[in-house]
Amino acid sequence: MSKVEAEYILKPKFHYIFWIVFFLYQFISNAVQDPRYVFSFVSVLTYVSFFFTVLVFNFYATVLFFEILKYKKLSRIVNILIFIVLILTSSALALLNRGVIQPIFLNNYNPINYTKYLSFWLFQFIYYFTMGAGYFFVKEFVKEKITSTKLANEKTVIESNLLRSQINPHFLFNTLNVLYAKSMVYSEELADKIQKLSEIMRYAYLPKWLKDGSHAPVTEEIKHIGNIIEIHEFRLSNNQIFQFDTQGTFTDIYLPPLILVTLVENILKHGHLTAEYPAFVALKHENDQFSFFSKNKIKTAKNHEEHSGVGIENIRLRLNRSFPDQFSFSSVEADGFYYNQLTINLQRTK
């Protein structure tokens, strides 16, 4: 089954088509045994009322019951009570249909034989309960297949983006070492910035997390964010274009490497940073919640540099792999400014 075929099973359109076809099949099967179903309009209405108030209800109630069972925090007694409510509701609908709805449409209505009718209902309940259970497990299998396919594709994209961004690190570090040694003769400040650049590049290319996929300490991210800002301000001869604020302690907090660094680099690359409109970045750790917030002026059309958005999308993919359903991340343009907001619930990672 392809991914497209699997996804179709989960769409409402599939359900509409299935129930229409199934209803026609059931009705025609009954018509073979009783021709009145073909020629009597009231018979059609009667069967429609029974089909949707009893049979279809049993099907989706069963699916809902198994969805509830997925919540492992519920006790076994609660699950049993829910199942009993399902049975009672289904039987009540069946009796309502037979005792109230059918007499409205049928002139030749016969009094209810409760024993016979409840036996018939029990067979129908088991039949549609089995159908609902089967659909639930097929749906779960399909969702798992789609998720695994999506994760595999995301991994490929991440690895591809990482490979495209890499150059030969040994050549780079050897060159930086030479530049550092040469610059010491002319400017200690310039040599210091070259050394910081070398530290940034070593952090980006050499640590073990690039190989084994482990997380990097946030303290390292903060250190190199400071290095990046310092180099950028040195390049522009302006130390008033960036405000960096941290609140709380960040030891023992780990994130996918270069997440925060990439966000800051995007600000420096695509933002319009001046003393009047400095960029602002704030990191906060409080009550088992880590947050990153940034705000920067957007470059004007004249000096705006288009970017592909690959970096932001890469961040989303990596966060989703590391913290599924535990984070929120938004990037918004408003009133000439660009905002990033990342929040991670660290308590659920413990």
pLDDT at 4: 47
237 backbone φψ class: left, alpha, beta (φ>0; ψ -120 to 50):
left
pLDDT in tens, 55-108: 778 888 888 888 888 776 777 788 788 888 888 887 777 777 766 666 665 555
Structure tokens at 234: 């040195």
Please say whether the beta carbons of 344 and 290 come within 8 A: yes
Of 336, 318, 138, 347, which Cα lies nearest the Cα of 253? 347
Cα separation values, 44 from 65, 117, 123, Å: 30, 19, 22
Q: CB burial class (10 A; 0-12, 13-18, 19+) of residue 131?
A: middle
Tokens (6 digits) for 42: 């009231």
Question: Using an 8 Å Cβ cutoff, are 281 and 292 in contact?
Answer: yes
Instruction: For residue 288, give the DSSP letter.
Output: T
Quick one: DSSP state of residue 217?
A: E
Residue owning tokens 């550092």: 180
Question: What size, in residues, is the chain?
Answer: 350
Q: Which amino acid is at 223?
A: K
Is-contact 58 126, C-beta < 8 A? no
Q: What is the DSSP string of 148-210?
A: HHHHHHHHHHHHHHHHHH---HHHHHHHHHHHHHHHTTT-HHHHHHHHHHHHHHHHHHSSTHH
Q: Which single residue is written with the structure tokens 């947050």?
A: 291
pLDDT of residue 341: 94
Which two three-digit tokens encode residue 267?
Answer: 């600000």
Distance CA 290, CA 248 (A): 9
Nearest-angstrom CA–CA distance, 5 and 141: 13
Low-confidence ranges of the chain (pLDDT < 50): 2-4, 302-304, 308
* Type of residue at 16: Y
Residue 43 phi, psi (nearest 5): -65, -40
C-beta neighbour count of 67 within 10 angstroms: 12
Q: How many CA atoms lie within 13 A of 173 on its CB side?
A: 11
Neighbours of 121 (CB within 10 A): 20
Is residue 269 within 8 Å of 233, Cβ to Cβ?
no
295 pairs with which residues across the strands? 280, 339
DSSP-H helix ranges across the chain: 3-9, 12-33, 36-39, 41-50, 56-69, 76-96, 102-105, 114-165, 169-183, 188-205, 209-212, 218-236, 259-270, 310-322
